[in-house]
Structure 1
Amino acid sequence: MKPQHLAWLAALATPALTLAQSSTTLYGIADAGVRHTTGMTAANAPSAASATTLATGVNSTSRFGLRGREELGDGLYALFNFETGLNIDSGSTASTKFFDRAAIVGLGSAWGQVTVGRQTNLLADAVSPVDAAGMRFASFNPNIATAALSSHGLGIEYGTAGSSSGSYRLDNALKYTGRFGPVTARAMYSFGENAGSTSAQSSAGAGLTYATGAWTASGAVQRFKTADNLALQAFTLGAAYQLGSVRLAANTARSEADTSTTARTEQRVQSAGATWSATGLLDITVAVYRLDRQRTGKQEDGYTRALLFAEYKLSRRTKLYAELDRTQWRDGFQGTANKDRATGITTGVLHTF
């Protein structure tokens, strides 16, 4: 991180430390562990070899951010949020965008909240409460990577993502969130800002979440355009249920992307899993994902992936964790000369502040 970035952040955070009435908060997550893989690279891509690495973000993505809220009277408030991803192993930011995870400002009241800036798409918002693994291991979790488009693997920028590898977050985005009893309604539009075309690189979507008692149901649909007006359409729908000390979750998602004027890629993700609070200090999570991919002129392929997490709470803010995963590639998804199965094991520590 550059010195000027640190100085800027320190200056921005100072009011939170010196003025009791300020609502500005500096927060973050530091997650790092030792990971060994067989049949995958250090970046978890298919491989014929093994690797041992110091990994970051296996449990939860390492990050830090600033958020704040000011009461304006009569129930109206203003808010902001800046957040950047971190690589704990190297000390670098996770993206060329400094505030890659969030850069928003907005207003809210009883009628809801409107935010503008770089923010998550509605698929990500909908998957979050119903993901089988509880949104752990973002770079490896198919609900995050494929269902919510963090790493769609299409090699084209859909929407104003600033990247050709994923569209989990969008620039120039306007989002509405309204909470009405057990229902949360969301709508989003991202401006493409391409000269001569209002639709190129734009994105629009809607989502609903219903949460009451032990039940949660959540879904969203969103459409993304490229600079050439190729379309990617995606939806996700899932549910979670708290049964005593066990949380059950399942989700289904599908995306269809035009990768050229004559070619299309369809990807489907099915998932199910459970988290058992074995004691007040120990949680155990198991999740299974199946990804199926169809591409014009190519054989259908995919993989099945299972994750097992055990977390032990040392305190309210610090956890030790162990993770085990197994991936079974199907029909050549892994590529020529790579193993058709892969395993990984990680032990690490996570601290929040």
Structure 2
Amino acid sequence: MARRVPTLTGSLPSRWGMRGSEDLGNGLRAVFTLEQGFAPDSGVLGQGRTFGRQAFVGLAGSWGSITLGRQYTMLFWSLLDAEVMGPNVYGPGSLDSYIPNARADNAIAYRGTFNGLTLGATYSLGRDAVNLGPGPAGTNCAGENAADKEACRAWSVLAKYDAASWGAALAVDRLRGGPGAFAGLTASHLGDSRVSANGYVKLGATKLGGGVVRRNNDASPTPESDLWYVGVTHPVTPQFIVDAQLARLNIKDSANQATLLALRGSYLLSKRTLVYATAGRLANDGTLALSVSAGAPGSNPVAGDSQTGVMLGIRHVF
């Protein structure tokens, strides 16, 4: 058993940025977002670039929005309501590191909501221009290669419906490889696909959520896997909120499996500030060596071992 305390930025990734819009008349607006991730203990930039979380400009209206730049894929938007832990260090991202890093460079995106129904799509000509070592934040797949037009392209689609007390979402996310790309996707005929289906229901103040992400990775000798998760969030008092989630990664035709259990308590000191405590336990089977706190470098246990983590922190939103 391995025990460790993760680095800072655990409940939600630390970031700052700017959003703006200009009224162009007749219901049309120009919009932009610049969002930068950083490590608050050292000041180091996240995602290997200045505005690594989002950097886009576009137009918006009653019909939705069209934006261009570095932005989230539809897989990210599909998970926001049903996955109760969110981008917490002890979350499904510990079992699939792409989930909290589902972004694309050089992307055009559409998203619109109509009477509870949200539709969206992204298409990228070169999904990730940064070489950040083998890791999801910079995958060295810039694309836009005249010799191979399909290299490093990516697309995603979303259909999501939200009612007053329940909701459901379906998303598809597809990455293509390219020369020198990480994670084994070294050619454009190799791809990595994820299909996400999830839902949630509200029972008074309590919310139950769950879903599955089915993956097919051409670069893996065992390409097919399912990541299941189910969770609950409940306000014990208006100031004290408890979240719990169980997640399971099943890799088909393999002994490699992993199970993650996470529990979080948050206490609101004000509308913008809270303190939190989170505990997580991840059990690996086979040769898997996934870390309970995947956001912390060098934290992986011995293959097949279990790991427990405890995290205390404060979050301020401004």
TM-score with structure 2 setting the length: 0.83
> Which of 7, 10, 19 is 1:58 aligned to?
10
CA deviations over 1:237-289 (Å, ceiling 9, x no partner):
100111112110001111111117xx452231100010011111000000000
- Counterpart residue number, 1:207: 158
User: 1:294 offset after TM fit, Å?
Assistant: 4.1
Distance 1:212 1:148, change over 3 A: farther
Instruction: Tell me the distance in 1 between the aligned counterparts of 2:67 and 2:315.
Output: 30
Distance 1:337 1:273, change over 3 A: closer
User: 1:88 offset after TM fit, Å?
Assistant: 1.0
User: 1:77 offset after TM fit, Å?
Assistant: 0.3
- The answer to whether structure 1 residue 346 and structure 2 residue 298 are counterparts is no
- The answer to whether structure 1 residue 309 and structure 2 residue 255 are counterparts is no
Instruction: Tell me the distance in 2 between the aligned counterparts of 1:89 and 1:318.
Output: 18
Instruction: Tell me the distance in 2 between the aligned counterparts of 1:320 and 1:76.
Output: 40
Instruction: Tell me the distance in 2 between the aligned counterparts of 1:183 and 1:175.
Output: 17
Instruction: Tell me the distance in 2 between the aligned counterparts of 1:220 and 1:147.
Output: 16
> Which of 225, 228, 244 is 1:267 aligned to?
225
User: 1:147 offset after TM fit, Å?
Assistant: 5.7
Distance 1:148 1:251, change over 3 A: farther
User: 1:327 offset after TM fit, Å?
Assistant: 1.1
CA deviations over 1:307-341 (Å, ceiling 9, x no partner):
10000000000001111111111123129955622
Contact 2:267 2:275 in 1 (8 A): yes
Matching residue's letter, 1:97: R
- Aligned to 2:75, the other structure's residue is in SS state helix
- The answer to whether structure 1 residue 177 and structure 2 residue 111 are counterparts is yes
For 1:24-173, list aligned pairs within 5 A.
39=2, 50-52=3-5, 55-133=7-85, 135-137=86-88, 139-142=89-92, 144=93, 149-150=98-99, 168-173=102-107
User: 1:52 offset after TM fit, Å?
Assistant: 4.2
- Aligned to 1:303, the other structure's residue is in SS state strand
- Counterpart residue number, 2:141: none
Matching residue's letter, 2:309: G
Instruction: Tell me the distance in 1 between the aligned counterparts of 2:157 and 2:302.
Output: 42
CA deviations over 1:109-152 (Å, ceiling 9, x no partner):
1221001100111111111121032x141x4421x45568247x
The number of equivalent residue pairs is 282
Answer with 1 or 2: which has the greater Rg: 1
Matching residue's letter, 1:141: G
- Aligned to 2:48, the other structure's residue is in SS state coil
Contact 1:103 1:119 in 2 (8 A): yes
- Counterpart residue number, 1:250: 210
> Which of 235, 251, 256 is 1:293 aligned to?
251
User: 1:108 offset after TM fit, Å?
Assistant: 1.0
- Aligned to 1:200, the other structure's residue is in SS state coil
Matching residue's letter, 2:114: F
Matching residue's letter, 1:351: H
CA deviations over 1:133-180 (Å, ceiling 9, x no partner):
2x141x4421x45568247xxxxxxxxxxxxxxx61110000001111
Instruction: Tell me the distance in 1 between the aligned counterparts of 2:303 and 2:96.
Output: 25
CA deviations over 1:63-120 (Å, ceiling 9, x no partner):
0011101111000001000001111121211232111100000001122100110011
Matching residue's letter, 1:149: Y
Contact 2:288 2:303 in 1 (8 A): no
Distance 1:258 1:252, change over 3 A: same
- Counterpart residue number, 1:235: 195
- Aligned to 1:87, the other structure's residue is in SS state coil
Distance 1:337 1:316, change over 3 A: closer
Q: CA RMSD in A?
A: 2.0
- Counterpart residue number, 1:164: none
Contact 1:119 1:171 in 2 (8 A): yes
- Counterpart residue number, 1:324: 279
Distance 1:303 1:264, change over 3 A: closer
Contact 2:95 2:258 in 1 (8 A): no
**Higher mean displacement: 280-289 or 123-132:** 123-132
Matching residue's letter, 1:171: D
Contact 1:293 1:300 in 2 (8 A): yes
Show structure 2 runs of 5+ residues with no match.
Answer: 127-143, 179-186, 291-300
Contact 2:288 2:304 in 1 (8 A): no
Show structure 1 runs of 5+ residues with no match.
Answer: 1-37, 40-49, 152-166
**Higher mean displacement: 286-295 or 68-77:** 286-295
Instruction: Tell me the distance in 2 between the aligned counterparts of 1:323 and 1:253.
Output: 24
User: 1:194 offset after TM fit, Å?
Assistant: 1.7
User: 1:196 offset after TM fit, Å?
Assistant: 2.6
Distance 1:123 1:146, change over 3 A: farther
